[in-house]
A and B are shown apart, each in its own frame.
Chain A
Amino acid sequence: MKKEKSNNCEIKLERSDKAVTCYFTGDFIFSNSKFINSYNLKKELKGAKSLSIDFTNLLKYDSFLVSWLNVVNSYCKNKNIEFKILNISDEANQFYDFLNFQNIKEPKLKEKKSLSVAFFESFGDLIKRLISDGINFLNFLGDNLKSFSKVFWSPGSIRWEDFPNQFILIGINAVPISVLILFLIGLITGYQGALLLKDFGADIYIADAVGVSLTRELSPLMVAIIVAGRSGSAFTAEIGSMKVSEEIDALKTMGFNIQDFLVMPRMISMIISLPIIVMLANIVGILGGLVASIGTLDITMTGYFNRMQVALDFNDILSGLIKAVIFGFVIALIGCFRGMQVSGGAESVGKYTTSSVVTSIFHIILIDAVFTILFPILGI
């Protein structure tokens, strides 16, 4: 007879010919699962024709007993071993039956599908989702353009009370991080440009390189990316949470237009604040370029700014500001749209917040590419 023992349980095994009997003494509970599972019953069952578990001395038990018996029973079935439970108390037996056989409600089972069916189904679902996403986005865009027109025709319908708060959150609070990053970008552009221009003796043209690249491309692009990560995601999370907690439904039932009430204050704040941040970023970025130029090239501050006046024309600055306005519109639109798509719970808020940032950045870069081609054609 083989015997294993822990603090409050003991397993004894008896084997006669092809019949194995397992005597269990003590507590068959979750806290003894480590000891009970360390006993390799499968090894003992090799070549056996029957297994009996004797519970004469069973003291305490819980669901672990039921799960253990079920797993052993199913193993025995697979190996054609006869399985028997012996001397179990009525109470323990009732507990076993209750957990094993009760079913208070007829369930609705998930259909099992083959891998290929599941693949095509999920591919179809993806296409369906993309199409419906596109249609919903166009609807949302249309609603917003309609609301946007009210700014001019009936400004009273927009919730202006929210505007100062949003302007501070989106605009003023984003200034420090935006200008810091653009200062560093100006510094990097200036430094990299200086290394190249020095070889050609064209030191003074560093002002052209820094000024034009910053005002036309880098400032609007970088500021838009920063604001999309900061404020666009905040729009989604905020509106998404409102949707989850049924605040949006409440507003709708009270007769509020969600576009006028929630989207417009954010969109207008974004459209106004982004060009302002870009202007500040332009100035600080040019100063970053100046620091790099003075540090690495043989030019003075006066020389840098004199050349900057010649190199930069109004169109360079204007093109950057036009982009900033469009980027602001797109970030607010996508941020709010993703927020409105939230459904279910907290997980959905996280999912759409991530999606909002990714979609915004993708569209910012796509629109920037379009403008880069379009502006020279338009003479800007």
Chain B
Amino acid sequence: MQDEIAIKVSNLSKRYGENLILENINLEIKRGSIVCIAGGSGSGKSTLLRQIIGLEEPTSGEIYIEDQKFYPSKSKESERIKKSFGVMFQMGGLIASMTLRENIELLLRTYTNLTDAQMSEIVRIKLTSVGLQGFEDFIPSEISGGMKKRASLARAMTIDPEILFFDEPSSGLDPITASSLDYLIKQLNKTLKTTMVIVTHDLESIFDIADEVFLLDTQSHTIIANGKPDVLKKSDIQIVYNFFNRKF
């Protein structure tokens, strides 16, 4: 695999029983880029994400992350690769019984040998970077939906992963919060050089932040177009044109 490729998916298919969800997916994501996986409802965007991050096993195909075979591979190997990425889930996925500090420290205690003072510093830095300084001792139910998403992003960034995955980051957020999250994603990408993979159908976000978009089609269950959002907006393929121009 070439050096600049962070994620490579080859011939990936996914079925639930007889139900075909994804067919023959092939994609390559460049290191340090912001990539959106887009598509209509039910096109399998989140299912594709779940395969890439190892929450589900594909029916067939191969996944490479940071030059290493992630699927199929031995569980020990895939567990090691999992440390190189972070995930921000749609509903946050924060552990409800823990404070934001404890949610972030959980990773640090498990994977590093930091002192308590250093851990506190990391918690402060990460929460500050998402605009949540001072909320260290709040539990998730005490903060709003947008804040939960940002806290989830802070947790995903805890040990500086090389890749960050986002599942519908702007869903359920007001335009200002959604746009501040987009700004944050861009800043983090620019400064920390983290590869960002975003599953979304929010066109505004796509045009705002994406370097490249992969469009999944509900009918054919596969990627029907990829490229820069501005180019796809002028696509000759009717479905692609319709999607990026909000036509039906």
Taking Cβ atoms with an 8 Å cutoff, the residues of A that contact B are: 29-31, 33-34, 37, 62-64, 66-68, 70-71, 94-95, 98-100, 102-105, 107-110, 343-348
Contact status A99-B134, CB under 8 Å? no
Tell me which of A29, A71, A104 has the highest count of chain B C-beta atoms within 10 A of its own C-beta: A104
Contacts of A37 in B (CB 8 A): 113-115, 118
B35 at the binding interface (Cβ < 8 Å): no
Q: For B125, give its contact among A33, A67, A105, A344 (CB under 8 Å).
A: A67
B97: interface (CB < 8 Å):
yes
Given contacts A68-B118, A103-B128, contact A110 B138 (CB under 8 A): yes
**A102 touching B121 by the CB < 8 A rule?**
no
Q: Give the A-B contact count at a CB cut-off of 8 A.
A: 94
Contact status of A103 and B133, CB under 8 A, knowing A30-B111, A344-B96, A347-B141: yes
| 25 A/B residue pairs, CB under 8 Å, sorted by A | A29-B160, A33-B118, A37-B118, A62-B159, A62-B160, A63-B125, A64-B112, A64-B114, A67-B121, A71-B117, A71-B121, A100-B125, A102-B187, A103-B128, A103-B133, A104-B180, A104-B184, A105-B180, A107-B133, A107-B134, A343-B141, A344-B96, A345-B96, A347-B139, A348-B96
Known: A34-B113, A64-B112, A67-B122. 10 other contacts (CB 8 A): A33-B118, A63-B122, A67-B125, A98-B192, A104-B130, A107-B132, A107-B135, A110-B134, A110-B137, A344-B141
In the complex, chain B residues whose CB is within 8 Å of the CB of A110: 134-135, 137-138
Tell me the bound Cα distance from A69 to B159 in angstroms. Answer: 16
B159, A30: Cβ atoms under 8 Å? Answer: yes
A29 to B112, CA, bound (A): 10
- Hey, which chain B residues are within 8 Å of A67, CB to CB? 114, 118-119, 121-122, 125
A94 and B184 alpha carbons, distance in the complex (Å): 16
Residues of B within 8 A of A346 (CB): 96
CB distance from A158 to the nearest CB of B (A): 34
Q: Please name all residues of chain B whose beta carbon is closer than 8 Å to the beta carbon of A66 when the two chains form the complex.
A: 121, 125
User: A344–B143 Cα gap in the complex (Å)?
Assistant: 10
CB nearest to A36 among chain B residues: B113
Query: Which residue of the partner chain A has the closest CB to B115?
Result: A37
- Using CB atoms, name the residue of chain A closest to B133: A107
Residues of A within 8 A of B133 (CB): 103, 107
Q: How far is the CB of B149 from chain A (nearest CB, A)?
A: 13
Query: For A343, what are the chain B residues with a Cβ–Cβ distance below 8 Å?
Result: 141
Please provide the 4 A-B residue pairs with the shortest distance between their CB atoms, ordered closest to farther.
A105-B131, A344-B141, A67-B121, A34-B113
**B interface residues, tally (CB under 8 Å):** 36
Complexed CA–CA distance, A66 and B157 (Å): 14
Q: How far is the CA of A105 from the CA of B154 in the complex (A)?
A: 14
**Residue numbers in B under 8 Å from A99 (CB-CB):** 125, 128-129
Task: Give min CB distance, B209 to chain A, whole Å.
Answer: 15
Does B191 count as interface, using CB distance less than 8 angstroms? yes
* Chain A, Cβ-Cβ closest to B161: A62
Structural contact, B113 and A103, CB atoms closer than 8 A? no
Indicate whether B140 reaches chain A with its CB closer than 8 angstroms: yes
Inter-chain contacts of B184 with A (CB < 8 A): 104
Contact (Cβ within 8 A) A33 B112: yes
Considering the chains assembled together, what is the distance between the CA atoms of A33 and B116 in angstroms?
12
Q: Which residues of A contact B138 (CB under 8 A)?
A: 110
Decide if A30 touches B160 in the complex (CB within 8 Å): yes
Which residues from 151 to 187 on chain B have a C-beta closer than 8 Å to any C-beta of chain A?
158-160, 180, 183-184, 187
Q: Which of A98, A108, A343, A345 has the most CB of B within 10 A?
A: A345
Shortest beta-carbon distance from B162 to chain A in Å: 10
Whole-angstrom CA separation of A345 from B139 in the bound complex = 11
Cβ-based interface call for B8 (8 A): no
Report yes or no: A63 in contact with B160, Cβ–Cβ below 8 A: yes
Question: Is B131 touching A98 in the complex (CB atoms < 8 A)?
Answer: no
Residues of chain A within 8 A (CB-CB) of B125 are: 63, 66-67, 70, 99-100
Q: Across the interface, do B122 and A348 meet the contact criterion of CB distance under 8 Å?
A: no
Closest to B148 in A: A345
Q: Is the CB of B131 within 8 A of A33?
A: no
Cβ of B201 under 8 Å from chain A: no
CB distance from A49 to the nearest CB of B (A): 23
Q: Is the CB of A33 within 8 A of B113?
A: yes
Interface pair B126/A63, CB less than 8 Å apart: yes
| Chain B residues within 8 Å of A63, by CB | 122, 125-126, 158-160
A229 and B135 alpha carbons, distance in the complex (Å) = 37
Complex Cα spacing A81 to B192, Å? 31
Q: Which residues of A contact B140 (CB under 8 A)?
A: 345
Is A108 within 8 A of B121, CB to CB? no
> A102 and B129: CB pair below 8 A?
yes
Q: Quick one: which of B119, B128, B134 contacts A108, CB cutoff 8 A? A: B134
- Inter-subunit contact B191/A94 (CB<8 Å): yes
Whether A71 lies near B96 (C-beta < 8 A) is no
B132-A30 in contact (CB<8A): no
Smallest CB-CB separation from B143: which chain A residue?
A108
A246 CA to B82 CA, complexed, in Å: 33
Instruction: State how many angstroms separate the Cβ of A365 from the closest Cβ of chain B.
Output: 30
Q: How far is the CA of A95 from the CA of B133 in the complex (A)?
A: 18
Closest to B141 in A: A344
Encoded as 1 (CB less than 8 Å from any A CB) or 0, chain B from 231 to 245 comes to 000000000000000
Distance in angstroms from A140 CB to nearest chain B CB is 22
Instruction: Give CA–CA (A343, B140) in the complex, Å.
Output: 12
CB-CB < 8 A to A103: which residues of B?
A: 128, 131, 133
Neighbouring B residues of A94 by C-beta, 8 Å: 191
Partner of A348, one of B135, B141, B191: B141
**Which of A63, A102, A110 has the most chain B CB within a 10 Å cutoff?**
A63
- For B96, the chain A residues whose CB sits under 8 A away are 344-348
Chain B, Cβ-Cβ closest to A350? B97
